Amino acid sequence: MITIVNGRTEKNPDQNGDFLIFGDIYKDDVLIHSFGEGGTSLFSWWMSQSEEFQYYYALMFSSIISNNYG
Q: What are phi and psi of 63, to 5 degrees?
A: -75, -35
pTM of the complete model: 0.80
In the chain, where the domains are located = 2-69
Q: What is the pLDDT of residues 20-59, one digit of tens each?
A: 999 999 999 999 999 999 999 999 999 999 999 999 999 9
Using CA atoms, how far residue 42 sits from 3, 7, 16, 58, in Å, is 19, 14, 12, 15
